[in-house]
């Protein structure tokens, strides 16, 4: 009798926790839906087949974060901003932003993605874009589905992606190979494995422009 009462109480507590999680999720969804759509009219998009040899161009860019934004970077009472930014990256070129911690490297990337507010800026992106964040994003699914992300499976391209992402050795460690379910937020993976899967997804997309934000920070030096 005592055991049955304990089990009943245990189920009630689990239900209460689930309801709390649902309420939190609903609140986050409502907050997202109520956010004002960002103005990205300063970004001109072209396709990779255009005559221009330029893949990415920024002219006299001025960008800033809102004070209310969650990812706001504020020093004292001054809102972090980027002023008079100009750059040009040709198709096929490899460009690196180098600077001290907090100098605005990630902010430049966010500006290119249209995530910052802009004042009299002109950005041109010629071609499709694939982005890998410094915090790897994965879904609770198999390794393969995290890499394909809804795209058709191409055996040759998939194997090349695993090779260039250095995931082949990791798959040998998983019980079900690339059919292994990685768990909520990649709970069964190391930080380096999550980073490599995120990078593999980016490479598999075969985009014209790849934007990578410190994706190797979680990997061992070797």
Domain identity same for 10 and 61: no
Domain identity same for 49 and 123: yes
Residue 164 lies in a domain: yes
pLDDT given at position 74: 47
Domain identity same for 23 and 65: no
Residue 221 lies in a domain: no
- Closest of 126, 44, 119, 42 to residue 84, by C-alpha: 119
pLDDT given at position 191: 82
Domain identity same for 14 and 74: no
pLDDT given at position 18: 62
Those residues whose C-beta lies under 8 Å from the C-beta of residue 71, and which sit 6 or more positions away, are 65
Residues 92-134: tens digit of each pLDDT = 899 988 888 888 888 889 989 888 888 877 888 998 999 998 8
**Cα Rg of the chain (Å, integer):** 22
Domain identity same for 54 and 25: no
Q: What is the domain range of residue 19?
A: 1-35
Q: Are 101 and 119 in contact (CB under 8 A)?
A: no
Domain identity same for 57 and 31: no
- Number of separate domains in the chain: 3
Residue 190 lies in a domain: yes
Q: Are 126 and 168 in contact (CB under 8 A)?
A: no
Residue 218 lies in a domain: no
Instruction: List C-alpha distances in Å: 180 to 112, 184, 185.
Output: 35, 13, 14
pLDDT given at position 151: 93
pLDDT given at position 2: 46
The segments of the chain whose pLDDT lies below 50 read: 2-6, 69-72, 74-77, 222
Is residue 219 helix, strand or coil? coil
């Amino acid at each position: 009798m005592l055991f049955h009462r304990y089990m009943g109480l245990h189920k009630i507590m689990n239900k209460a926790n689930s309801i709390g999680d649902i309420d939190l999720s609903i609140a986050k969804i409502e907050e997202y839906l109520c956010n004002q759509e960002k103005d990205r009219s300063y970004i001109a998009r072209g396709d990779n087949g255009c005559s221009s040899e330029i893949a990415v161009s920024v002219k006299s860019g001025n960008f800033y974060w809102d004070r209310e934004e969650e990812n706001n970077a504020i020093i004292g009472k001054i809102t972090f901003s980027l002023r008079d930014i100009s750059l040009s990256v040709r198709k096929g070129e490899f460009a690196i932003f180098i600077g001290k911690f907090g100098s605005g490297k990630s902010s430049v990337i966010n500006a290119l993605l249209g995530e910052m507010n802009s004042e009299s800026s002109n950005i041109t992106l010629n071609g499709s874009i694939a982005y890998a964040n410094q915090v790897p994003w994965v879904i609770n699914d198999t390794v393969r589905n995290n890499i394909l992300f809804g795209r058709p499976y191409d055996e040759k391209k998939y194997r090349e992606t695993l090779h260039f992402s250095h995931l082949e050795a990791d798959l040998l460690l998983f019980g079900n190979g690339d059919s292994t379910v990685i768990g909520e937020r990649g709970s069964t993976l190391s930080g380096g494995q999550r980073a490599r899967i995120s990078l593999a997804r980016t490479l598999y997309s075969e985009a014209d422009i790849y934007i990578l934000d410190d994706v190797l920070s979680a990997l061992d030096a070797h």
